Structure 1
């Protein structure tokens, strides 16, 4: 199982490939994509948390909707 913990909207969120998550206050590019900052990456038995190794990791997401609270 591959997943990442990313920093987004002032919080940390666990995300997986293909998952849908609700994030607060993120800015997407004109195509509706956003690059998230990974703080942890788990790929099977391999856990990566070293900042220099995570600098090489790219986590991108596609904005599928825009919500407003009350």
Structure 2
């Protein structure tokens, strides 16, 4: 399965098709499609393309799932012997992206057709109707 390394928000992410990633807030509506052309690296089952700095003709398409806020980080500043204390919290604004496809020069390296079906099977496993046999050493002890 292929993957790509993209740059967004000043950070680099290793992305695969069918997975979601939390990145810094992107000003786009929910359920909208985004195309990333800042692709640094593309791997197609061992066939690697390295960009200098970006891979020409490579794009990654994603869908905005939702906007959310990250965990709270506490910032605590204190000056000893001065009775000065400052406690402040921060929550980062994030956007959750679902990666739809990775393309290189118009050819789909990994697309949404490769995503495995994760729905549980509706067929029940056949139950064992026979009783388990006793171990051989217990049968010999009874005789």
Shorter-chain TM band: 0.7 to 0.9
How far the C-alpha of 1:20 sits from its partner, in A, is 0.5
Q: Is the 8 A contact 2:41 2:54 kept in 1?
A: no
Q: Is the 8 A contact 1:33 1:61 kept in 2?
A: yes
How far the C-alpha of 1:57 sits from its partner, in A, is 1.2
Give the Cα separation in 2 of the matches to 1:45 and 1:66: 34
CA separation of 1:51 and 1:62: change in aligned 2, threshold 3 A: same
Match status 1:68 vs 2:69: yes
Output the TM-score relative to the length of structure 2: 0.43
Give the Cα separation in 2 of the matches to 1:53 and 1:7: 10
CA separation of 1:29 and 1:59: change in aligned 2, threshold 3 A: farther
Output the TM-score relative to the length of structure 1: 0.81
Hey, which bits of structure 1, 4+ residues long, moved more than 4 A? none
Q: How does 1:1-70 map to 2 (within 5 A)?
A: 1-28=1-28, 32-36=32-36, 37-51=38-52, 54-69=55-70, 70=91
Deviations 1:5-38 (A, max 9, x none): 0001110000001111001022337861212221
Which gives a bigger RCO, structure 1 or 2 (Cα 8 Å, sep 6+)?
Answer: 1
Moved more, 26-35 or 2-11: 26-35
How far the C-alpha of 1:51 sits from its partner, in A, is 4.2
Q: Is the 8 A contact 1:40 1:49 kept in 2?
A: yes
Bigger Rg, structure 1 or 2: 2
Runs of 5+ unmatched residues, structure 1 = none
CA RMSD of the aligned region, Å? Answer: 2.3
Higher strand share: 2
